[in-house]
Amino acid sequence: MHYWTSGSEAAGLDVLKQLLEKRGVSWSDSPVAGGTGMNMVQVLRARIASDTAPSAAQMHAQQVQAWAAEGVLTDLSDLAKKEDWAKIIAPELVPLISYNGKSVAVPVNVHRSNWLWYNKKVFDKAGVQPPTTWDEFNQVSEKLLAAGVTPLALGGQPWQEADLFENVVLGLGGADFYRKALIEQDQEAIKSETMVKVFDQLRVMNKFVDKNYPGRDWNLATQMVIKGEAGMQIMGDWAKGELSLAKMEPNVDYGCSPAPGTKGDYVWLTDNFGFFTTKDENRVKGQIEMASAILDKDFQEAFNIKKGSIPSRVDVSMDKFDFCGKAAYADRAEAQKTNTSLPSLTHNAATGATKTGVFLDVVSTFFETPTMTSQQAIDQLVAGLKSAE
Question: Of residues 333-352, which lie at the interface with other proteins (CB under 8 A)?
Answer: 352
Element of type H or E holding 258: strand 254-258
Using the minimum distance from each CB to other proteins, give the nearer residue, 114 or 356: 356
Q: How far is the CB of 118 from other proteins (least distance, A)?
A: 22
For the chain, the first-to-last Cα distance in angstroms comes to: 30
Which residue in 10, 11, 66, 88 binds other proteins (CB under 8 A)?
66
| Residue 363 CB burial class (10 angstroms; 0-12, 13-18, ≥19) | buried
Q: What is the CA radius of gyration of the chain?
A: 21
SS3 label, residue 299 = helix
Piece of the chain touching other proteins by CB under 8 A; list 39-47, 77-85, 123-131, 314-322 = 39-47
Pairing of strands 115-119, 230-234: antiparallel
Using the minimum distance from each CB to other proteins, give the nearer residue, 140 or 202: 202
Piece of the chain touching other proteins by CB under 8 A; list 233-241, 274-282, 303-311, 378-386 = 378-386
> Distance between CA atoms of 72 and 57, rounded to whole angstroms?
12
| 41 part of the interface to other proteins, by CB under 8 A | yes
| 45 part of the interface to other proteins, by CB under 8 A | yes
| 282 part of the interface to other proteins, by CB under 8 A | no
Which residue in 325, 367, 377, 378 binds other proteins (CB under 8 A)?
367
| 247 part of the interface to other proteins, by CB under 8 A | no
| 54 part of the interface to other proteins, by CB under 8 A | no
Using the minimum distance from each CB to other proteins, give the nearer residue, 213 or 303: 213
Binding track over 206-245 against other proteins, x by CB under 8 A: ----xxxxxx------------------------------
> Distance between CA atoms of 80 and 230, rounded to whole angstroms?
46
Which residue in 102, 174, 361, 382 binds other proteins (CB under 8 A)?
361
Burial 15-43 (b: 16+ CB within 10 A, else e): bbeebbeeeebeeeeeebeebebeebbeb
Using the minimum distance from each CB to other proteins, give the nearer residue, 124 or 217: 217
Using the minimum distance from each CB to other proteins, give the nearer residue, 193 or 389: 389
Pairing of strands 150-152, 105-112: unpaired
CA angle 100, 104, 109 (to 5 degrees): 125
Write the DSSP string, 194-209. HHHHHHHHHHHHGGGS
Using the minimum distance from each CB to other proteins, give the nearer residue, 167 or 364: 364
Binding residues for other proteins, total number by CB under 8 A: 35
Q: In Å, what is the CA distance from 58 to each residue of 69, 95, 105, 298, 358? A: 16, 18, 10, 20, 24
| 375 part of the interface to other proteins, by CB under 8 A | no
Q: How far is the CB of 49 from other proteins (least distance, A)?
A: 7
Closest CA to 331 of 237, 254, 263, 250: 263
| 369 part of the interface to other proteins, by CB under 8 A | yes
Using the minimum distance from each CB to other proteins, give the nearer residue, 90 or 224: 224
Question: Of residues 119-178, which lie at the interface with other proteins (CB under 8 A)?
Answer: 156-158
> Distance between CA atoms of 85 and 89, rounded to whole angstroms?
5
| Residue 123 CB burial class (10 angstroms; 0-12, 13-18, ≥19) | buried
Which residue in 6, 174, 380, 382 binds other proteins (CB under 8 A)?
380
Using the minimum distance from each CB to other proteins, give the nearer residue, 110 or 154: 154
Closest CA to 345 of 141, 143, 167: 167
Using the minimum distance from each CB to other proteins, give the nearer residue, 26 or 387: 387
The footprint of other proteins (CB under 8 A) covers 36, 38, 41-42, 45, 48-49, 66-67, 69-70, 156-158, 210-215, 352-354, 357, 361, 364-369, 380, 383-384, 387
